[in-house]
Amino acid sequence: MDLESSIYSTSTSSETTLSEIPNPDSLNSEFPEKRCHFSPVIEQRKCRLLNGKCGPNRNGRWFCKKCRLERCLELGMTTTNIQYDRDAFKSSVNFVKSQALARLVGDRIGVPMQFVFSPDNLVDYDKMDSDISCWSSHTFDEMRFFFIPKELYYDDVIWDIIDIQPSDVELTFIMSILCFQLAGTRYGGHIQDEMERLQDILSNELHEYYMKNNQKMYLLRLKQLMKVKERFLRLRNIRLEKYSLGGIFNMFNTSFSNPDFFWVPP
């Protein structure tokens, strides 16, 4: 007796034991707990009962993939009208919520050239104007190149910090590492050696912090923190290059209070 006739004789029996029915949960599992003689038929996309009349159970779930597909085709399903993201899995629900939140943020506050500096006030940089005659002989429109909001207020750095949500210890680590690195690079010599020593101390303390909080696999977290630091340094270097260029062409007629951030060559 071949496989199909054996299955047919079993499926037409008036009494089917529980062991002959595949576990619904195991059908979609990577490692099924129970296999039965129906599984090869299902895997080959043949009708479960070999009569083409299978239907859903009382919970609306189909166990026969072939009959389910034929029913969908009868109702007009094609490759062009399949609707996605309609399953009830928790991961998909969370993904849809994240998409909606991203659209909401983009619609409400994601205007790239606006900056909110108080609950009732914001600046639209595309429409604003300012009197800069006290420190430049050029107009504000001519000087816009030096004051791009994303660079001026380190927007990308702020969004990275919001994204990773660092703890107080991690945020202190980032800010301290930045200060020590900039100071060491600026003055060099024995000051740079001392700054590097302090950075080593901070790194060891951060390691102890992760061990104390049972975060032994913290490599990814450390990469995220270093990404914030590197982005800050990159934006800072862009600003310094612009100010250097402005100094060469005498765009500024005054000195800045912080030469590390607003240095203009003579």
The pLDDT value recorded for residue 12 is 43
pLDDT digits over 157-188, tens only?
A: 888 898 888 999 999 999 999 999 999 988 88
Say if residue 135 is in the same domain as residue 217: yes
Is residue 112 in a domain?
A: no
Residue 260 CA to residue 186 CA, distance in Å, equals 8
Is residue 135 in a domain?
A: yes
Is the pTM of the predicted complex or chain greater than 0.95? Answer: no
> Which residue(s) pair with 22 in the sheet?
none
Residue 20 has pLDDT above 60, yes or no: no
Q: In the chain, how many domains are there?
A: 2
Q: In which band, very low, low, confident or very high, does the pLDDT at 141 lie, cut at 50, 70 and 90?
A: confident
Residue 151 CA to residue 234 CA, distance in Å, equals 10
Say if residue 148 is in the same domain as residue 241: yes
Residue 21 CA to residue 18 CA, distance in Å, equals 5
> Which residue(s) pair with 122 in the sheet?
116
Say if residue 70 is in the same domain as residue 142: no
Burial class (CB in 10 A: 0-12, 13-18, 19+), 81: exposed
Higher pLDDT, 234 or 24: 234
The pLDDT value recorded for residue 101 is 52
Say if residue 138 is in the same domain as residue 202: yes
What would the 3-class secondary structure string for the chain be? CCHHHHHHHHHCCCCCCHHHCCCHHHHCCCCCCCCCCCHHHHHCCCCCCCCCCCCCCCCCCCCCHHHHHHHHHHCCCCCCCCCCCCCCCHHHHHHHHHHHHHHHHHHHCCCCCEEEEECCEEEECCCCCCCCCCCCCCCCCCCHHHCCHHHHCCHHHHHHHHHHCCCHHHHHHHHHHHHHHHHHHHHCHHHHHHHHHHHHHHHHHHHHHHHHCCCCCCHHHHHHHHHHHHHHHHHHHHHHHHHHHHHHCCCCCCCCCCCCCCCCCC
* Lowest pLDDT segment from 64-78, 84-98, 219-233, 248-262: 84-98
The pLDDT value recorded for residue 99 is 52
Is residue 52 in a domain?
A: yes
Range of the domain at 62: 3-74
